[in-house]
Amino acid sequence: MASTDVIKQGQNVILKKGKSLRLYQVWRKRRVHLDKKHFFLDEAIGKPYGTTWDVHGQNVCLVTPDEERDEDVREGGTDNRGINDDTRSQKLSDEDIKALKSKGQHGAAIVEQLVENSTSFKEKTVYSQAKYLKKKRDKHLMRFQILRPNTILLCEMYLMRAPSKNIHLRIDTLAQILTAANIQSGINVMMMETCQGLLLGAIMERMAGKGTVVQIHSESAPVRLAVEAYNFPSSYKDTLHAFPLDQLGFLEPKESVESNNPEQSTSEVSDRLQACKTEEPQATNGKSVESKDCPQCSESDAKERSVGHRTQKEEERSNGEEENDSNVEDCDAAADDAGMVAMEADCQSGEGGTQGQKRKFQVNPEKEARKQRRRESLCRVRDLLHNTKMDVLVMACRFQPLPIFTALFKFLAPSRPFVVYCHYIEPLMECNEWLRNCNNAVNIRVTETWLREYQVLPERTHPNVNMSGTGGYLLTGTTVSNET
């Protein structure tokens, strides 16, 4: 067995019990939590992935494949005419069951007792018996599987636990994003997501550490929770370049920035930032920022972040309206627009702003160094985007897609795919219309998929009773140039 197939300390694993999935990092003597039980995974270290385990007290023990198989039910009644819903069929009371449990009875034994004490079990049809057993086993057996995290499991896990955090991204839609974007090793990807790093992780897995990913992120630092789960080699991170969403104005084409006096345009951006940062005690004053090439990113302070967000939304809104009106990418206008928003924001929080500038602060060399690094990274990404045309644009975020889409679209080379996901169709239709007007894309599609799972059992095959109503919508297409 290859060494990659066994569970090691420090790795992320998924515990699967029935439909519930949990992500944990494996460490000796670290407690994990599943279905109200706490236990240690120590025993599992060094054992292969895919193994099934039972919880015994605080520890887990391996289930052999023979134990694992559910024995088939052979005898049963013909139909349910004799079965009444009178709650008297089970002779064991809740207390009895609790007593069994507290005696430390194994789950399988409890299920057996339940069957023995059920007067109606024998009258049930074999199918009904199988269903009953499955239900009881799921409830009383603390049996779970340890799996290697992958895109499917992570997507399922997030979708079950907090669909809105995951922007309702469904497995088939995620699969289509990756395919439509033609994600492969060695290409340059430009992407924006707000699904906790799930899409980024999926893309990184398909690129295997070769190529470039420019990740536009909305918070002060990119959220890459799910990326950790993949247990990627650390070298994969070298392909990642983060760029904050609220600095997109800084990406104006070089020529226009130069002709427009770079100092001024960057200072506009930093003004805007300044306005957002007034709550931050260690905010640098306007002067020192102006003299610098790149504005700095804000620290993660909840209050300040919320202010920043508001500004950003305003900017998006005004940008979006402008795009709708003129349907042209006018960089200068966009820059002015951004400047205006910055001023507005300044007025709103004007008082705070002056306070922030007056406030004394100590220069922390570590912070300065960090800021410097951020500035350098911003410039690096800007240069990258200006010097290298991107091979694909992928977006799956909770923001209005059009403003971001129009801001990033111009960095794509001709004859390259783009994919925008949205849980709602109308925002994609806006992008669709913008694309049709700008004439820089062909094969534009807005699609939705319908995913239905089936129960396949002898004589009992049918679609599952419940299915997902929507997996969201995708806008896909190919860029073209109008050079002849």
Partner 1 sequence: MGFLGYSDVICDGDKAIVYLGYNSMMSLKLSHGTVTQTKRGALRHSDIIGKKYGCRLSTLSDKGYVHLLQPTPELWTLNLPHRTQILYFADISLITLQLELKPGSVVVESGTGSGSVSHAFARTIAPNGHLHTFEFHEQRAVKAREDFKDHGISHLVTVAHRDVLEHGFGIDFTVDAVFLDLPCPWRAVSHAKKILKTSGGKICSFSPCIEQVQRTCEELGSLGFSDISTFECLQRNYEHRTVILPYPNLGTKTVSRDDSKQASPNPDDSSSLQDTGIPGTSTEARQGDGATDIASGTTTPEAGKPLDRQGETDREESDRNEGGSQAKRPKLCEGAPQDNKKGNSLNYPTKCAVPWKDMPGHTGFLTFATLYILPGGS
Hey, which residues between 10 and 69 contact partner 1 (CB under 8 A)? 47-51, 62, 65
420: which DSSP letter?
A: E
Spatial CB neighbours of 218, under 8 Å, sequence gap ≥ 6: 192, 194, 244, 245, 246, 312, 397, 399
Q: Which of residues 374-393 bind partner 1 (CB under 8 A)?
A: 391
Run of H or E residues at 183: none
The upper half-sphere exposure of residue 173, i.e. CA atoms within 13 Å in the direction of its Cβ, equals 31
3-state class of 465 per DSSP?
coil
Positions 184 through 203 that interact with partner 1 (CB under 8 A): 184-187
Based on the shown chain and the rule CB under 8 A, indicate whether residue 217 belongs to the binding site for partner 1: no
Contact indicator for 57, 66 with CB cutoff of 8 Å: no
143 lines the binding site for partner 1 (CB under 8 A): no
Residue with Cβ nearer partner 1 (198 or 378): 198
Q: What is the spatial distance between Cα 90 and Cα 179, in angstroms, rounded to a whole number?
A: 52
279 binds partner 1 (CB under 8 A): no
Question: Which is nearer to partner 1, 112 or 344 (by Cβ)?
Answer: 344
Question: Of 367, 354, 359, whose CA–CA distance to 275 is shortest?
Answer: 354
Q: Is 417 in the site for partner 1 (CB under 8 A)?
A: yes
* 363 vs 456, beta carbon nearer partner 1: 456
- Of 271 and 430, which has the nearer Cβ to partner 1? 430
Which amino acid makes up residue 159?
L
Please choose, from the candidates 420, 392, 404, 396, the residue with its C-alpha nearest in 3D space to the C-alpha of residue 479: 392
Q: Which of 400, 410, 438, 468 binds partner 1 (CB under 8 A)?
A: 400
Smaller CB separation from partner 1, 294 or 475: 475
Give the other-Cβ count within 10 Å of 237's Cβ.
13
- Min. distance of Cβ 324 from partner 1 in angstroms? 4
Residue closer to partner 1 by CB (options 4, 355) is 4
Cα dihedral 226, 232, 235, 241 in deg (nearest 10): -20
DSSP code for 249: G
User: What minimum distance in Å lies between the beta carbon of 484 and partner 1?
Assistant: 5
| Number of residues lying near partner 1 (CB under 8 A) | 85
Site for partner 1 in 282-321 (CB under 8 A): 313, 316-317, 320-321
Least distance from partner 1 to the Cβ atom of residue 321, Å: 6
Long-range CB contacts for residues 284-290, cutoff 8 Å, separation at least 24: 284/361, 285/356, 285/357, 286/357, 290/263
Residue 481 touches partner 1, criterion: CB under 8 A: yes
Which CB sits closer to partner 1, 78 or 461?
Answer: 461
Cβ nearer to partner 1, comparing 196 with 432: 432
Q: Of 123-131, 265-273, 360-368, 407-415, which part binds partner 1 (CB under 8 A)?
A: 407-415
Minimum gap (Å) between residue 255 Cβ and partner 1: 21
Whole-angstrom Cα distance, residue 396 to residue 155?
14
Q: How many whole angstroms separate alpha carbon 443 and alpha carbon 421? A: 16
SS3 label, residue 23? strand
Q: What is the x/- site pattern for partner 1, positions 227-246, by CB under 8 A?
A: --------------------
Q: For residues 420-479, which are near partner 1 according to CB under 8 A?
A: 423-427, 429-430, 432-433, 436, 442-443, 445-454, 456, 458, 461, 463, 473, 478-479
What is the side-by-side strand order in the sheet with 417-422? Answer: 240-244, 212-217, 188-193, 392-396, 417-422, 473-479
Is 182 a binding residue for partner 1 by CB under 8 A? The answer is yes
Q: Is 72 in the site for partner 1 (CB under 8 A)?
A: no
From 14, 97, 180, 273, residue interacting with partner 1 (rule: CB under 8 A):
180
